Each structure stands twice: as C-alpha cells, then as structure tokens.
Structure 1
Amino acid sequence: MISVIVPVYNVEKYLEKCIESILHQTYKDFELVLIDDGSSDSSGIICDEYGDRDNIVIVHKTNGGLADARNRGIEISRGDYITFIDSDDYIRSDYLETLYEVLCKTDVDIVISNFINIHEGKNITQNITKNLEYGRISKSECYRRMLLQDGIDVSSTAKLYSKRIFDAVRFKKGQLYEDINIISDVVERATNIAITNYAGYFYLQRLGSIMYSEFKTERLVLLDATNRLINLMKERYPENVEAAMYRDIYCTFHLLGRSIVDNKYTKISSTLRKKIINNRTFIFNSCLFDNKERIATLILLAGLPVYKFFWKIYDLNR
C-alpha cells in the first residue's frame, strides 16, 4: 500500500482538484492522509466531505507548518511506501501506478520522477511522456542532478519512497526550505535510487505560496542547508563540490533578489552582495553559470543601488 500524504493549509481554491486527482488513480492500493494544519478557511470542511471513504484518513491539528504536518502524516501512515503531494498541486491518473511500476522493476528505495511547472494565471502546457524511460542512478549522480536542477530537484514531492527511509528521518519543524534541509538525510538512507522521465506531477507555482512570499530573515536558513551540502560533497562526493558551490551561489542570488526590494533588509542584502562579489572568480570561471549570472555579478560590483534598479526591471519582465 502507498500512503499519499497531503498537508492542507488554507487552500480551499485548489484542494478539491488535488484530492480528486488522487482518488481517480489507476493504482487502487493506497490511503490518502489529509493533514489539516489548522486552516482558517473552508479547507478543513472540504477534507471532512471525503471522510466517509475507507481509504481516507483525516487529521485536524493546530497549525505547526508544512514540516510538522508532513511529520504527522508519516507517523500515522500505514503504507509500505510514501509519497508527498502538496495540496495546491495535482497528479495524472497513472501517477501512483507508474512510480510503483518503476520502483518494482528497478528494486530501489526511492523513485524520482519529472514534473510539470504550472504558473498560476498562465496557460497550461501538459507535456505527456510518450516513452517511459527509467533506470538506477548512483547517489553521486542523484546529488549532482539535484544541485544543478537537471531534470530533478530537492523537492520532497514527485517521488515515491520506501517507508523505511523515514524510520529515523523527520522534516525540521519551523524551518523554511524544509525539502533541501532533509534531502541529504533521505538520499543517504537509500540503498538504491531510480529516476524516470515520466512527468505526472503538476506543480502549481502560485503567487501566495511560500516561494513567492515576501522576504524574512528566516529565509537565510537556505544558505545553512547549501553549506551543509557543500561539506557533505567535500566529505563523500568530491566530484560534486563545484555543483554544490553553484547551488549555494544560485540560492544567494535568489535571497538577494527577495531581500533587496525592502529597505529594512539592506544590511542583509549587503552581506549577500559581499558573498557573491567574493566568489566572482568562481562565477566567471565555472561553466555552470550562464551570462545572466555573470552580468548580475558585474552589476553588483557597481553597488546595491545600481543592482536594485536593474533587478526591478528584470523582475517586472520575467
């Protein structure tokens, strides 16, 4: 049995589509675990409307954040396998069947699939995979592709796990970027890992999500996570050190772009700018960076006010 864990918090606009996509799976041996994390809208009521089904478990709890909700789902899940789906996303009808098929044929602990990004308010292009490809990859290759966002990412979604992976692993409660904070624990506990080109997970990038919310100092935990990955690569996978350093700088640019729009974070923006400037030799010499990042570095050399001017123009036209 597969346990499908869905944390729910104030997603009344999206929740029914998510739940219905799970209930209409071609693979039938699953339980749906809905964790209502103290929603203040009608999300909890929508969950309860599905409460008469034998394969649905509903928990209402005090708000504790995404990591806490996922942990609760792990603790009460009864399946041999676990997959996470965010409550504003949805999946194709053959999602569970395809990932389970790959897991069985490759005899692995984790299957990592592709996914389709959907930007709220924009037309959806569903790239249906016609020829299913899959195979085992090493942990080193898994890290490399995650760090470079080469077809797979650190997200906990769009993956199927043997439940034993989470016997001694939990998401870090109260921290943003919970996925990148846990990914090394998950990968290191796996015996074997497989990837597939199958894309049956639809990831909605909505303006009200965590990724698009305003900057706050708690976001800096992202750099703690990337620094741990750099150290892990140095210790166990030295061939991936450059990729880990690239991801660290990439995340620094991301945080700078979010912090620079608010003058109260000028000191933090200055620190992030300094980090990028100090790594300019690496940025200019590494083939992992493109011209956009090199130009951004040159602009940063001119100072934060100049960078802020160009950032606003770039951000408006993305």
Structure 2
Amino acid sequence: MFFSIIIPVYNRPQEIKMLLDSLQLQEYQDFEVIIVEDGSAFTCDDCILNYKNQLDVHYFFIKNVGQGFARNFGMEKAKGEYFVFFDSDCIIPLGYLKSLKKAIKDRNLDAHGGPDAAASDFSAFQKAINYSMTAFLTTGGIRGKMKAPEKYQARGYNMGFSKKVFDTVGGFIDPNRAEDIELSLRLKKAGFHLELVEEAYVYHRRRNSWKSFLDQSYSFGQNRVHVSRFHPEALQFIHFMPSFFLGGWMLAVLFLLLAMSLYKWLMGLYGIWLLLVFLDASIQEKSIKVGLLSIFTSFGQLSAYGLGLITACWSKTFQEKDG
C-alpha cells in the first residue's frame, strides 16, 4: 500500500461524508483511510460504516489531544509508505492522489504541501475567505503560489511525508499551534526534500463565521511567533507586514481625529489597495459580491493576524526578560 490518508476530526460528522465521497472517486486507489476521532461529543462512526465496502477505512476514537497529536496517533496505526493529511472540511479533487504520486516519484520528494482553493459551489463568504488567504495582494501567495516550491512550509490541511520521515524526525510536537510549519522546518533541517506540489490542491470548505475567521487569523499571527521559539528563522520581515498594515490604518484614524492632513495620504493608499482587492477578487471569482466581501475578509484577516503577532511578540519579550 502506498498512501495512508490520515484525517483528525472533532465534532464535525457532517463534513466526513463529503470528504469520503471525494476519496471514493479518486483515480488512484492504492490507499487506506485512517480517521481519528479526537474526543468528539458528536462522532462520525455511523457515517463511516456506510463506506466500509467502498474504502479501506479505519476508525479510531481517542481522548481529545488536539489535531497534531491525533495525526501522530494515526501515523502509528498507518500501513502505507507515504502519509497524507487532510482536514475534515476538505474535498479532494479526483486526480489528487494520481498527481501527487507522480510528483513524489518524478521530483524525488520526501514530503509535500499543497494549496487550497474554493470550489464553484462554495458560498460567496467562503470564496472571499479563500481569496483573502491565498491572493498575492493579501498574503503574497505564500499558501500555494510560490515561484520557489522548495521554500514552501506545508500546512496541515493538505500535506504529507513518507514513513521514513516519521521514523526519523518523529511527528508533530504541538497539538494545534502551527505544528505543521514547525514540522516542515524540522524535516528540512534533517535533510529531507519537501516541496509545494501545486497540482495537489484541495477544496477547503471552511465553516467560519466572521468572528471565528478573525479569531483564527489572530491565532495564526500568535502561532508564527510560537514556532520561532523552536526555529528563530521562522519569523521573518514579511510576517510583520500585517502588523504594519494594522499600524498604518490606526495611524490614519489618529491623524483624522487630530485633523492632520497626513490621514488623506494614508487613506488614499488603503483606498487603492481595497480597490485592487475588489477588482482582483471579482475577476477571479466572476462575482462582484465576492469582490465586496473580499474587501472585508482581507482587511480583517491582515489586521487580526498583525494584532496576534504583535501581542505574541510582546508576551515573548517579557517572558524572556523574566527568564
């Protein structure tokens, strides 16, 4: 068996059906599916029974330990040569595994990360979130549109590595604080070959509300600083750009309140950026509604991420002083 697909799930039984349906349609079929129920109150065991005759699926229930450690449990049970991780809210295009295996063999990969995208039937809000998290105007394309695929830091919703990697460097060392980025950096330092595989994309059906999206963006900023405790090089100048973005519009508001003309210059820059976001998202998704929503998701995401990074840096500085 080549692939072991490992899926941690927590209180999301409704999502597993769509994910398993997409796996059932894969063009490449040499794989097993390992579902690790991470202490859920609402389990998916009844749903999984319907796939016993269609997929080589294995279900485990464990106490709640967090997605990183749930993945570790799944790897311990896996029988395949190469482990692939998906989040439960992903839908997998039918050519995913076929394209991934070809990339592994052709490029001699030990590990990979893949991008996420919005399917045509996603809601306008889901498409706007996807745009704000993947567009060049918001994140610089670091989540899947890189010119240098070897620089990619894989994300847990769509990543994988060989059993040899797991046996050598171990699994995730944190349950849910950028554990995927930390492991990406660790295995690269160990000499393993990890690259972005653009054709191995997933449709990421995020179930965010406005609040949960902003909370998640805030935690992403904090998590970047957390990873830097293990890998100082993980925190680079580019990661502070959202903090500058946040500081810039706060200055503009301050200048406005103080009746200083500088606010016009700053507001003008932000206005141009918002217009570009609107146009780019509208064209990409062929929807003015998505374009309008993308203004708010992009603005909120960068501001929340920037605030999370600032507060985490502040806390880290005082902890180091106290230490």
For this structure pair, what is the TM-score category when the shorter chain's length is used for normalisation? 0.5 to 0.7
CA contact (8 A) 2:24 2:55 kept: no
Query: Aligned equivalents of 1:210 and 1:317: distance in 2?
Result: 14
The one-letter code matched in structure 1 to 2:250 is L
The one-letter code matched in structure 1 to 2:198 is N
After TM superposition, the structure 1 stretch with the greater mean CA deviation from structure 2, 81-90 or 32-41, is 32-41
Question: Residues 245 and 299 from structure 1, CA distance in 2 versus in 1: closer, same or farther, beyond 3 angstroms?
Answer: same
Query: Aligned equivalents of 2:211 and 2:186: distance in 1?
Result: 23
Matches within 5 A, 1:183-202: 183-202=184-203
Matches within 5 A, 1:140-159: 146=142, 150=146, 154-159=154-159
Matches within 5 A, 1:16-55: 16-51=17-52, 55=56
The one-letter code matched in structure 2 to 1:207 is N
| Alpha-carbon displacement from aligned partner over 1:232-257 (angstroms, at most 9, x marks no partner) | 37xxxxxxx8xx2212443xx4xxxx
CA contact (8 A) 1:169 1:186 kept: no
The one-letter code matched in structure 2 to 1:7 is P
Query: Aligned equivalents of 1:176 and 1:211: distance in 2?
Result: 16
Query: Aligned equivalents of 1:199 and 1:188: distance in 2?
Result: 24
For 1:245, the equivalent position in structure 2 comes to 237
Q: Name the SS of the counterpart of 2:116 in structure 1.
A: strand
| Alpha-carbon displacement from aligned partner over 1:261-290 (angstroms, at most 9, x marks no partner) | xxxxxxxxxxxxxxx5xxxxxxxxxxxxxx
CA contact (8 A) 1:83 1:157 kept: no
After TM superposition, the structure 1 stretch with the greater mean CA deviation from structure 2, 215-224 or 20-29, is 215-224
CA contact (8 A) 2:153 2:181 kept: no
CA contact (8 A) 2:113 2:154 kept: no
Question: Residues 306 and 207 from structure 1, CA distance in 2 versus in 1: closer, same or farther, beyond 3 angstroms?
Answer: farther
Q: CA deviation at 1:227?
A: 3.1
Q: In structure 2, list runs of 5 or more residues that go unmatched.
A: 128-139, 258-266, 271-292, 300-323
Say yes or no: does 1:203 pair with 2:153. Answer: no
CA contact (8 A) 1:8 1:35 kept: yes
For 1:300, the equivalent position in structure 2 comes to 250
Matches within 5 A, 1:306-317: 315=296
| Alpha-carbon displacement from aligned partner over 1:87-115 (angstroms, at most 9, x marks no partner) | 11111111111100111112221233343
Q: CA deviation at 1:172?
A: 3.0
Q: Name the SS of the counterpart of 1:184 in structure 2.
A: helix
Q: Name the SS of the counterpart of 1:165 in structure 2.
A: helix
Question: Residues 74 and 87 from structure 1, CA distance in 2 versus in 1: closer, same or farther, beyond 3 angstroms?
Answer: same
The one-letter code matched in structure 2 to 1:162 is S
For 2:302, the equivalent position in structure 1 comes to none
Greater fraction of residues in helix? 2
CA contact (8 A) 2:6 2:35 kept: yes
Q: Name the SS of the counterpart of 2:65 in structure 1.
A: coil
Query: Aligned equivalents of 1:196 and 1:148: distance in 2?
Result: 8
Query: Aligned equivalents of 1:248 and 1:229: distance in 2?
Result: 18
Q: CA deviation at 1:74?
A: 1.2
Q: Name the SS of the counterpart of 1:14 in structure 2.
A: helix
For 2:88, the equivalent position in structure 1 comes to 87
Q: CA deviation at 1:69?
A: 1.2
For 1:105, the equivalent position in structure 2 comes to 106
Matched-pair identity in %: 20
Question: Residues 163 and 145 from structure 1, CA distance in 2 versus in 1: closer, same or farther, beyond 3 angstroms?
Answer: farther
TM-score norm. by structure 1 comes to 0.63
For 1:68, the equivalent position in structure 2 comes to 69
Q: CA deviation at 1:184?
A: 0.9
Question: Residues 64 and 107 from structure 1, CA distance in 2 versus in 1: closer, same or farther, beyond 3 angstroms?
Answer: same
The alignment's C-alpha RMSD in Å is 4.0
Query: Aligned equivalents of 1:42 and 1:209: distance in 2?
Result: 26
Matches within 5 A, 1:283-294: 293=245
| Alpha-carbon displacement from aligned partner over 1:137-184 (angstroms, at most 9, x marks no partner) | xxxxxxx98589737554134334222222232223444333233321
CA contact (8 A) 1:37 1:64 kept: yes
Query: Aligned equivalents of 1:306 and 1:229: distance in 2?
Result: 42
Q: Name the SS of the counterpart of 2:198 in structure 1.
A: strand
The one-letter code matched in structure 1 to 2:238 is Y
Q: CA deviation at 1:200?
A: 3.5
For 2:318, the equivalent position in structure 1 comes to none
Question: Residues 306 and 61 from structure 1, CA distance in 2 versus in 1: closer, same or farther, beyond 3 angstroms?
Answer: farther
Q: In structure 1, list runs of 5 or more residues that go unmatched.
A: 126-143, 234-240, 254-275, 277-292
Query: Aligned equivalents of 1:192 and 1:41: distance in 2?
Result: 38
Question: Residues 148 and 20 from structure 1, CA distance in 2 versus in 1: closer, same or farther, beyond 3 angstroms?
Answer: closer
Query: Aligned equivalents of 2:249 and 2:216: distance in 1?
Result: 22
The one-letter code matched in structure 2 to 1:247 is H
Query: Aligned equivalents of 1:44 and 1:78: distance in 2?
Result: 21
CA contact (8 A) 1:21 1:93 kept: yes
Q: Name the SS of the counterpart of 1:60 in structure 2.
A: strand
The one-letter code matched in structure 2 to 1:246 is I
For 1:122, the equivalent position in structure 2 comes to 124
Query: Aligned equivalents of 2:216 and 2:114: distance in 1?
Result: 30
